[in-house]
Structure 1
Amino acid sequence: MTDDKRNFAGKTAFITGGVNGIGFGIARALAMGGMDLILTYRKGQDRDEAAGWLADQGLPPARFVHLDVTDRDRFAQVAAEVGKVHVLVNNAGVSVFGPTDEASYADYDWIMGVNFGGVVNGLVSFLPGMKAHGEGGHVVNVASMAAYLSGPQAGIYTASKFAVRGLTESLRYNLAPHGIGVSLMCPGLTRTNAWTSALKRPDGFGDSGFAPVDAGELEQFGTAFDFGMDPLEVGRKTLAGMIANKGLILTHGEFAEDFAEIYQTSLNALPQEEIPEGRLHIERLRRAGNKAASQGNLVGLNDLT
Structure 2
Amino acid sequence: MQDFTGQVAFITGGASGAGLGQAKVFGRAGCKVVIADIRQDAVDQALATLRGEGIECHGIQLDITDRAAYAAAADEVEHVFGQAPTLLFNTAGVNNFGPIEKTTYGDFDWLIGVNLGGVVNGMVTFVPRMIASGKPCHVVTVASLGGFTGSALAGPYSAAKAAVINLMEGYAQGLEKYDIGVSVVCPANIKSNIAEATLTRSAQYGDSGYVEGPEAIASLHSIYQHGMEPEVLAAHIMQGIRDKALYIIPYPETKDMLAAHFARIVDAIPALETDPDGAKQRTDALMAWAQGGAKVFTPGA
Q: Does TM-score exceed 0.5, indicating one fold? A: yes
- CA displacement 1:186-209 (0-9 Å, x = unmatched): 11211111112233321101222x
Give the counterpart of 2:2 among 2, 6, 16: 6
**1:25 maps to which residue?**
21
Q: What are the equivalent positions in structure 2 for 1:282-301 lying under 5 Å apart? A: 282-284=282-284, 299-301=291-293
Between the aligned partners of 2:38 and 2:69, the Cα distance in structure 1 is 13
Partner of 2:190: 190
Aligned residues: percent identity? 33
Q: Please report how far the alpha carbon of residue 80 of structure 1 lies from its aligned counterpart in structure 2 after TM superposition.
A: 2.5
Q: Which has the higher relative contact order, 1 or 2, with Cα contacts under 8 A spaced 6 or more apart? A: 1
Contact 1:199 1:213 in 2 (8 A): no
Unaligned runs of 5+ residues in structure 2 are 79-83
Q: CA deviation at 1:135?
A: 0.7
Distance 1:219 1:239, change over 3 A: same
Partner deviation per Cα, 1:210-256 (whole Å, 9 max, x = no partner):
14425324412321111111100011111111111111111222201
Query: Kindly tell me: are residues 56 and 78 of structure 1, through their superposed partners in 2, closer, same or farther at Cα, counting changes over 3 Å?
Result: closer
- How far off is 1:57 after superposition? 2.0
**Number of residue equivalences:** 291
**Amino acid paired to 1:80:** D
Partner of 1:294: none
1:263-282 to 2 correspondences below 5 Å: 263-274=262-273, 276-282=276-282
* Residues 42-66 of structure 1 deviation map (CA, whole Å, 9 limit, x = unaligned): 2233122212222232322x11111
Q: Deviations over 1:120-143 (max 9, x none)?
A: 001111111100011120111110
Distance 1:231 1:212 in 2: 27
Match of 1:293 in 2: none
Give the aligned residue type for 1:302.
A
Paired AA for residue 59 in structure 2: F
1:1-305 paired onto structure 2 within 5 Å: 6-60=2-56, 62-83=57-78, 84-208=84-208, 210-274=209-273, 276-284=276-284, 299-302=291-294
Cα separation, 2, equivalents of 1:138 and 1:81: 20
- CA gap of 1:58–1:252, structure 2 versus 1, over 3 A, is same
Q: Distance in 2 between matches of 1:281 and 1:178?
A: 31
Question: What is the rounded CA distance, in whole Å, between the counterparts of 1:254 and 1:289 in structure 2?
Answer: 38
Q: TM-score, normalising length from structure 1? A: 0.89
In structure 2, do the counterparts of structure 1 residues 218 and 67 end up closer, same or farther at CA, with 3 Å as the change threshold? closer
Supply the distance in 1 between the matched residues of 2:234 and 2:43 (Cα, whole angstroms). 18
Task: Return 5+ residue gaps in structure 1 as ranges.
Answer: 291-298
Q: CA deviation at 1:15?
A: 0.8
Supply the RMSD in Å over aligned alpha carbons: 2.1
| One-letter amino acid of the structure 1 residue matched with residue 93 of structure 2 | G
Distance 1:63-1:199 versus aligned 2 partners, 3 A rule: closer
**Residue identity matched to 1:66:** Q
**Structure 1 stretches (4+) deviating beyond 4 angstroms?**
284-290
**Distance in 1, Cα, partners of 2:213 & 2:20:** 28
Cα distance, 1:267 vs structure 2: 2.2
**Contact 1:282–1:304 (CA under 8 A) maintained in structure 2:** no
